[in-house]
Amino acid sequence: MTEPLLEARGVTRRFGHVQALRGAAFTAYAGEVVALIGDNGAGKSTLVKTLAGALRPDGGEILLDGRPVHLTDPVDAQRLGIETVYQDLALAHDLDAAANLFLGREPTRFSFLHVLDRGVMQRRAAEAFDELGIRLPDMSAPVRQLSGGQRQCVAVARAVAWASRVVFMDEPTAALGVVQRKQVLDLIRRVRDRGVTVVLISHNMPEVLAVADRVEVLRLGRRVARFTAADTSVEQLVSAMTGGLDQEGAA
Amino acid sequence: MTTTAVSEETTETGRIPALLRSNTVWTLAVLVALFALFAVLKPAEFATTFNIRNVATDSAILLVLAVGMTFVIVTAGIDLSVGSVLVFSGVVAAKTMVALGGTTAGWGGIALGALAGMGSGLGWGLVNGLLVTKARIPPLIATLGSLGVALGLAQVITGGSDVNRIPAKLANAIGYGLVAGVPWLVIIAVLIAVVFGLLLALTRFGRHTYAIGSNAEAARRVGIKVDRHLIKVYALSGLLSGVAGVLSLAHYTTTTIASHTSDNLSAIAAVVIGGASLFGGVGTVAGTVIGVLIPGVLRNGLIILGAQRFWLDVAVGAVLVVAVFFDQLRRRARERR
Ligand SMILES: Nc1ncnc2c1ncn2[C@@H]1O[C@H](COP(=O)(O)OP(=O)(O)OP(=O)(O)O)[C@@H](O)[C@H]1O
Ligand SMILES: [Mg+2]
C-alpha cells in the first residue's frame, strides 16, 4: 500500500506497576477502516488515547503523513482532524445532546461576551443526528436520561461530525441493539467513503471482519499480527489475540 | 434500546413536562405558598412593605455569597471560606477607610477601601483556586484551610476587636439608603444575581462550568482548560465574598468579625434548596435566589408568629433536608435507569 496516514512506533506507557504498552506499533492508511483488536487489557484503549492526545506516552513515536507529531492534549489531535469515541464516551451527562456535540467548540454571538448561539447548535446537531439516522426521544433532555445505546450514538455523532482525517472508535457498538449496531457499522462505511480513516476497536469478530479492510492485533501491549480482512478467518484472529501466532516476533 | 420515531406531537407535549421538570418552578411554588401562609396568618405584620423590605435586606448579603457558591457547586466543588473571606475583606476595607479619614472619609477613601476589600476577596478566591487545581487539594479541605487562615488573620489585623469608625457617607447611602423605596443593598445584590445568572445560563463560560461539574475528564478531552476555569470560578466566589464584606460593613457600620461562622452553610443550603446538586453539573442562579428567600421568609414569618429563636434553626434545617429529599424523589422518578 501507499504511505501510512497515521503511524505509531515503539510506543510505551506504564501505569504504576502495569506496563500497558510495551513498544506498541500501529498503522492506519488513508480512507480505510482498520480494526484494532486484542484481549481485555491488551492496551487498545491506552494506545488509542495516546494517538488521540488524551494520554502522553512514556516513549515511542507518532507520525502523521510520515512526520513526527507531538500531541500534548486532545485539542492538538483535533486540530489535525483526529477525533475519538472514547470507551467511556466522555460525555457531560447533565448537558443535552446538542450541548455535548458542541462541547468545547460552542458557536457564540457578541464575540466578546461569548453568548452561546443555541439556535445554530440545535439546528446543526439535529442535522448531524439526522445524517446518522439517530433519533433521540427528547433533544432537550440531559444525556443522563438517555439509554446507554443512545448515549453511545451521541458520542459517535460528535466524533464523526468533527473528524476530517481519522476517527478512533473504542467499542462504539458495545451497548447497541441489533438495529443500532447495523446503523453504526453502515455509518463507519459511509465515513470511510467520505475519505476519513476509521479505527475500530471491537471484541465482536464477525463484526470486525464484516466492516474492516484490515485488522491489527495487540497482545500484552505489543502489535503481534496484521491481517487483510478479506482473506482472514475468525479462528486466525482469535489465535493471534490469545498467543497462538506472533508475526512480528519479540524484537 | 428503541428507535422511537419522534413525531411532531411528542415534541410539542414535551414542552410542558420540561417546564414541570424544572426544579425552579417547584421551589418557587414553595416560596409563594410560604409567603401566602404567613400573609394569611399575620396580614397586618407580615405582608407590609416595611417587613418585606426587611426580609429582602436581610437576604441581600447572603445572596451575594450564594451566587458565587452556585458557580462553585455547579463545578462539583464547595467553598467553605466565604464567611471568613467576607470578614477578612470587610476588615481590610474598614482599615483602609479608617486610614483615609474614618467616619468623615469622602467618596474617594470609600472607593479605595471598597476596592481593597474586593481585592482581598479576589485574592483569597485565587488562593482557593490554586490550592484546588495546582496543589490538588480537595475543595472541602482547601477552603476549610482558608476559612481558618482568613478569619485568624482578620483577628490578627484588628487585634480581635471590631473596627467601628466606618465612613458615615457609606453607611447612609449604601448601608441604609433607598432608591424609590428599594434599599441599595437589595439593588446591588439583585444586579449581581442577574449579571452572573445570565453568565451561567447563556455564555460559553457558564456552559463550561456545567461541563466540568458533569464530567471533568470529558471537559478536558474536548479541550476545555479545566484548571484555569476552576481557578476563575473560585476567584469569582472570593470576589463576591469581598463585595459582601463591603456591603456588610456599610450595613452594620462595623466589621462583625464574630457573626459569620455559619454564612458558608447558609449559602450552601440556599444553593441546594435552589435545586443544585452537590455532585455538580446542576443548578441555576434563579434557583439560588429562591433558595435564599425560602429560609429568609421562614425565619421572618416564625419571628412574627412569636416562635422562640431556637426554633428558627430547627425549621430552616428541616426545610433543607425536606427540600433535598423531594428533589431526590423527583430526580429518581425522572431517571430511566
Ligand atoms: N488509568 C489507568 N490507570 C491504571 N492502569 C491503567 C489505566 N488505564 C489502563 N490501565 C491498565 O493498562 C492495561 C491496558 O488497559 P487498556 O484499557 O488499554 O486495555 P484494553 O485493551 O482497552 O482492554 P478492554 O478490551 O478491556 O477495553 C490494563 O492492564 C489496565 O489495567
Ligand atoms: Mg479498552
Which one is predicted more confidently, B20 or B328? B328
- Chain CA centroid to CA B75, Å: 15
Closest CA to A81 of A155, A179, A1, A159: A159
Q: Are A132 and A85 in contact (CB under 8 A)?
A: no
* Residue-averaged pLDDT of chain B: 90
Per-residue pLDDT, averaged over B248-274, amounts to 93
Tell me: pLDDT of B22 over 80.
no
The pLDDT of residue B310 is 87
Q: Does pLDDT of A244 surpass 90?
A: no
Domain membership of residue A250 (yes or no) is no
A142, part of any domain:
no
Write down the pTM of the prediction: 0.90
Q: State the CB neighbour count (10 A cutoff) for residue B186.
A: 19
The A residues from 192 to 251 touching B (CB cutoff 8 Å) are none
The answer to whether residue B39 scores a pLDDT higher than 70 is yes
Looking at the partner chain, which of A78, A88, A114 has a beta carbon nearest the beta carbon of B203?
A: A114
- The predicted pLDDT at position B96 comes to 95
Where residue A249 falls among pLDDT bands split at 50, 70, 90?
Answer: low
Q: Are B219 and A104 within 8 A, CB to CB?
A: yes
Residue A157 CB contacts under 8 Å (≥ 6 apart), including other chains: A97, A101, A128, A129, A132, A134
Looking at residue B12, its pLDDT comes to: 39
- Looking at residue A1, what is its pLDDT? 53
Place of cell 515503539: A10
Q: Name the residue among A41, A37, A84, A111 with its Cα closest to residue B203.
A: A111
pLDDT in tens, A94-144: 999 999 999 999 999 987 889 999 999 999 999 988 887 788 888 888 999
Residue B329 has pLDDT above 90, yes or no: no
Record: contact A113-B3, CB cut-off 8 A: no
Round to whole Å and give the CA distance between A199 and A130: 23
Asked if B326 and B275 touch (Cβ cutoff 8 Å), the reply is no
> For residue A30, what is the domain's CATH number?
3.40.50.300
Mean local confidence (pLDDT), A149-163: 90
- Cα–Cα distance between B55 and A129 in angstroms, integer? 49
B207 vs A125: CA distance, rounded Å: 16
Helix (H) or strand (E) holding B182, with range, is strand B182-183
Q: Per-residue pLDDT tens for B202-235? A: 999 999 999 999 999 999 999 999 999 999 999 9
The closest ligand to the CA of A16 turns out to be: 1
Kindly list the residues from chain A whose CB atom is less than 8 angstroms away from the CB atom of residue B2: 147
Name all domains of chain B by residue range, CATH numbers in brackets.
23-331 (1.10.3470)
Alpha carbon A8 to chain centroid, angstroms: 15
Starting at the edge strand found earlier in the chain, the sheet holding A214-219 runs: A82-85, A166-170, A197-201, A33-37, A214-219, A222-228
DSSP output for chain A: ----SEEEEEEEEEETTEEEEEEEEEEE-TT-EEEEE-STTSSHHHHHHHHTTSS--SEEEEEETTEE----SHHHHHHTTEEEE-TT----TTSBHHHHHTTT---EESTTT-EE-HHHHHHHHHHHHHHTT---S-TTSBGGGS-HHHHHHHHHHHHHHH-SSEEEEESTTTT--HHHHHHHHHHHHHHHHTT-EEEEE-S-HHHHHHH-SEEEEEETTEEEEEEEGGG--HHHHHHHHHTS--SSTT-
Nearest Cα of chain A lies from the Cα of B153 at a distance, in angstroms, of 37
* Alpha carbon B89 to its chain's center: 16
A158, part of any domain: no
- Residue of A46, A173, A242 to test ligand 1 pocket, by largest number of atoms within 8 Å of CB: A46
Number of the ligand closest to the Cα of A44:
1
Query: Which grid coordinates belong to A18?
Result: 502495569
Answer yes or no: do B1 and A145 touch at CB < 8 A.
no
The residues, ordered by sequence, that sit 6+ positions from B137 with a Cβ below 8 Å of its Cβ are B131, B145
- pLDDT at residue B6 above 60? no
CB contact under 8 A, A106 and B10: no
Q: B-contacting residues of A 28-47, CB under 8 Å?
A: none
Average pLDDT, chain A: 90
Residue B8 has pLDDT above 50, yes or no: no
3 state SS of B178 = strand
Distance in angstroms (rounded) separating the CA atoms of residues B90 and B253: 10
Cα(A151)–Cα(B146) distance, integer angstroms? 40
Q: Phi-psi category of B282—alpha, beta or left, where left has phi over 0 and alpha has psi -120 to 50?
A: beta
- Residue A180 forms part of a structural domain: yes
Grid coordinates belonging to B73: 457547586
A95: cell is 448537558
Distance, in Å, from the CA atom of A233 to the CA atom of B203, rounded to the nearest integer, reads 53
Shortest distance between the Cα of B271 and any Cα of chain A, in A, equals: 17
* β-bridge partners, A42: none
Write the CB contacts of A58 (distance below 8 Å, at least 6 apart in sequence): A12, A13, A14
DSSP H helices, chain B, are 8-13, 15-21, 23-41, 43-46, 49-74, 82-99, 107-133, 139-158, 168-170, 184-202, 204-214, 216-221, 226-252, 263-273, 285-304, 309-334
Which of B121, B123, B139, B122 lies closest to B131 in space, CA to CA? B139
**Is residue B335 very low, low, confident or very high in pLDDT (cuts 50, 70, 90)?**
low
pLDDT at B4: 40
Contact assignment for A106 to B204 by CB distance below 8 Å: yes
Counted across chains A and B, CB pairs separated by less than 8 A come out at: 101
pLDDT of residue B76: 96
Kindly state whether residue A177 falls inside one of the protein's structural domains. yes
Task: Indicate the number of domains in chain A.
Answer: 1
In this predicted structure, the answer to whether residue B16 has a pLDDT above a threshold of 60 is: no
**A249 within some domain:** no
Ligand 1 is surrounded, with C-beta below 6 A, by: A 15, 18, 20, 38, 40-46, 87
Ligand 2 centroid – CA A83 distance (Å): 16
**How far is it, in rounded angstroms, from Cα A134 to Cα A144?**
17
Chain A environment of B215 (Cβ under 8 Å): 90-93
pLDDT of residue A4: 92
pLDDT in tens, B115-164: 999 999 999 999 999 999 999 999 999 999 999 999 999 999 999 899 98
- Structure confidence by residue, pLDDT tens digits, A60-100: 999 999 999 999 888 999 999 999 999 888 999 999 999 99
- Closest-CA residue, ligand 1 atom 25, reads A40
Rounded CA separation B146/B126 (Å): 11
Mean pLDDT along residues B160-189:
92
Determine which residue's CA is closest to atom 30 belonging to ligand 1.
Answer: A41
Identify the domain containing residue A10 by its residue range: 6-90+164-242
CB A90 within 8 A of CB A159: no
What pLDDT shows up at residue B237?
Answer: 98
Distance CA A203, CA A217 (A): 11
**pLDDT surpassing 70 at residue B13:** no
pLDDT in tens, B184-198: 999 999 999 999 999
β-pairing, A214-219 vs A222-228, is: antiparallel
- Summarize pLDDT for A11-57 with one digit per residue, the tens: 999 999 999 999 999 999 999 999 999 999 999 999 999 999 989 99
CA of A170 to the centre of ligand 2 (A): 7
For B223, the closest of A74, A135, A149 (CB atoms) is A74
